[in-house]
A and B are shown apart, each in its own frame.
Chain A
């Protein structure tokens, strides 16, 4: 299944992604920290993909027990809350940063 080479490959990805994470955020001004936190929060909602895979997995050998079915639905729902809520809240915050040509000075 997963041999040492694949594991090494996955760990390399992890290390590189960590650097990208540090680089990307180090340039964000303070005023955008809350929207940024909210956006990263939405991005880790990609966990819903994991919930989708395991749901398909438990259903692949016929109908699973009721509690596995329940957990599968709950897992997908929680992931969806994270993704949809996260992006929607971020969008709402950012809507307020629209540049206004107000009477400045």
Chain B
């Protein structure tokens, strides 16, 4: 390894500082864009230094890859609908993991055994984690895109298969490290194939509702793979950036799990323990005694309320109803009604999912309330308008100890004077359980597609 010039090191330090500052600024809505720009500049500084350091060796391969990759990334990022953002993050994350895998494969292919200890160890680890993250992300993408079922996929002997694959990885990886890379090519391919397979097997039994947690976890995995690749290539910036992502991703994952009152182990291995309990519970959804209302009833109730709290959920995202919701809020505000939005941390499929959608519809962010700010307001709320949210409003989480979501913090919508639930059907939510909220005397249901229902409300309010 050649000595690197001082300007290269300075560029790396500047880039790292910009990454950290960027993340710092991302913690406030007012400065978040600036933060993202800072991180972008940091990336630019780092990459220019790296490209300059190659002295033009292999320039066409780098240029070709950069052009193809940038084009794909840009087209996907700019074309994707806002509702599909979580999948996109998963896909881009998978690309990062796959890149880490590629680097290790190249190092093995080009390196002469015996490969030094530090390098072989980090190379093997980075490849395994990168591969796992890549294939896992693709499954997460397919599940959220609804190309494959969002239900947990389980089969008999699943744990045995997983254990065998894991054993295969440990065995082949250990062998490769012990031999310092001097193993037949079949062993290398076998190792990486097993790591890819583990990623698939790891995500298959996890349900669609838990995907945000999984994507966050895979994001931190890729961070760790990048950090380890930093040891392999002996570059501090990879170690620092990778570790920061690994640490923050882990914390974010834990925070999401907490918001759902689901310990990480439960999210990841829940489908095994219960033997597909999710599906069994879903089937038990008995008939419920509910009151349904017409759009005109609801419109009158809303128009003559003094405070309305809108509680959006995944149903709003699916129906792309955010613009209609904003139109309804405008109508109500024009009549002097105070309209606010109560956002549960795990409403939708990613934390902040609802915020992003509502922001797209130009809802001013100060009217979006976190759960902690929203809950004290429900007792003084005239109408809580629930749009496609279910489990996050389920009062069973408070008092029914046998409920699978018992203990999950929820929005106290039942404390509002009136509750209107916009829902496609009586089907249960992701958790597959009944919602006693729907049977309360002050609750009325308005069935139908969220967008159609809200549009109906808009014209009904106009017509009053």
Where the two chains meet, the residues of A that have a C-beta atom closer than 8 Å to any C-beta of B are 1-2, 6-7, 10, 13-14, 17-22, 24-60, 64-65, 67-69, 71-105
Q: Which of A36, A88, A100 contacts B26 (CB 8 A)?
A: A36
Residues of A within 8 A of B353 (CB): 34
Residues of A within 8 A of B99 (CB): 47-48, 50-51, 75-76, 78-79, 82
Binds A, one of B38-46, B189-197, B265-273, B445-453: B38-46
Residue in chain B with minimal CB distance to A33: B351
Q: Which of A41, A97, A98 contacts B96 (CB 8 A)?
A: A41
1/0 per residue B243-274: CB within 8 Å of A?
A: 11111110110011001000000000000000
Main secondary structure of the interface of A (DSSP, over half): helix
Asked whether A75 and B106 contact (CB < 8 A) given A30-B370, A82-B73, A85-B92, the answer is yes
Q: Which 7 A-B pairs have the closest CB atoms?
A: A80-B69, A21-B247, A76-B65, A85-B73, A59-B58, A96-B359, A75-B102
Residues of B within 8 A of A86 (CB): 73, 77, 89, 92
Chain B nearest Cβ from A72, distance in angstroms: 5
Residue in chain B with minimal CB distance to A103: B333
Q: Which of A29, A50, A82 has the most CB of B within 10 A?
A: A50
Residues of B within 8 A of A69 (CB): 61
Q: Which of A41, A48, A85 contacts B219 (CB 8 A)?
A: A41
Residues of B within 8 A of A36 (CB): 23, 26-27, 248, 252, 352
Decide yes or no whether B388 CB sits under 8 A from chain A.
Answer: no
Residues of B within 8 A of A7 (CB): 118
Taken together as a complex, chains A and B put the C-alpha atoms of A101 and B325 apart, in Å, by 18
Chain B nearest Cβ from A70, distance in angstroms: 9
Taken together as a complex, chains A and B put the C-alpha atoms of A44 and B107 apart, in Å, by 20
| Docked-complex contact A88 and B89, CB < 8 angstroms | no
Residues of B within 8 A of A14 (CB): 227, 239-240, 243
Residues of A within 8 A of B66 (CB): 48, 76-77, 80
| Docked-complex contact A89 and B226, CB < 8 angstroms | no
Chain B nearest Cβ from A23, distance in angstroms: 9
Decide yes or no whether B368 CB sits under 8 A from chain A.
Answer: yes
| Docked-complex contact A58 and B1, CB < 8 angstroms | no
Q: Give chain B interface residues in 12-53, CB to chain A under 8 Å.
A: 19-20, 22-24, 26-30, 32-33, 35-36, 39-40, 43, 46-47, 50-51, 53
Q: Which of A28, A56, A89 contacts B58 (CB 8 A)?
A: A56
Decide yes or no whether B57 CB sits under 8 A from chain A.
Answer: yes
Residues of B within 8 A of A75 (CB): 65, 99, 102-103, 106
| Docked-complex contact B33 and A81, CB < 8 angstroms | no
Q: Which of B46, B256, B259 contacts A49 (CB 8 A)?
A: B46
Q: Which of B53, B96, B243 contacts A17 (CB 8 A)?
A: B243
Chain A nearest Cβ from B334, distance in angstroms: 7
| Docked-complex contact A31 and B252, CB < 8 angstroms | no
Asked whether A89 and B352 contact (CB < 8 A) given A21-B247, A71-B106, the answer is no
| Docked-complex contact B54 and A52, CB < 8 angstroms | yes
| Docked-complex contact B105 and A71, CB < 8 angstroms | yes
| Docked-complex contact B32 and A97, CB < 8 angstroms | yes
Taken together as a complex, chains A and B put the C-alpha atoms of A22 and B443 apart, in Å, by 42
Taken together as a complex, chains A and B put the C-alpha atoms of A57 and B371 apart, in Å, by 52
Q: Which of A32, A40, A72, A99 contacts B61 (CB 8 A)?
A: A72
Residues of B within 8 A of A83 (CB): 43, 47, 69, 73
Residues of B within 8 A of A42 (CB): 39-40, 43, 92
| Docked-complex contact A82 and B109, CB < 8 angstroms | no
| Docked-complex contact A80 and B73, CB < 8 angstroms | yes
Chain A nearest Cβ from B248, distance in angstroms: 4
Residues of A within 8 A of B171 (CB): none
Chain B nearest Cβ from A29, distance in angstroms: 7
Decide yes or no whether B236 CB sits under 8 A from chain A.
Answer: yes
Chain B nearest Cβ from A8, distance in angstroms: 12
| Docked-complex contact A64 and B40, CB < 8 angstroms | no
| Docked-complex contact B65 and A44, CB < 8 angstroms | no
Residue in chain A with minimal CB distance to B218: A41
Binds A, one of B80-88, B148-156, B201-209: B80-88
Taken together as a complex, chains A and B put the C-alpha atoms of A10 and B24 apart, in Å, by 24
Taken together as a complex, chains A and B put the C-alpha atoms of A89 and B84 apart, in Å, by 11
Q: Which of A78, A80, A102 contacts B364 (CB 8 A)?
A: A102
Q: Which of B68, B76, B237, B371 contacts A46 (CB 8 A)?
A: B237
| Docked-complex contact A25 and B248, CB < 8 angstroms | yes
Asked whether A51 and B351 contact (CB < 8 A) given A13-B239, A21-B251, the answer is no
13 A-B pairs (CB sep. < 8 Å):
A19-B247, A21-B248, A31-B368, A32-B352, A36-B27, A40-B23, A55-B65, A56-B53, A58-B58, A85-B73, A85-B95, A92-B77, A103-B333
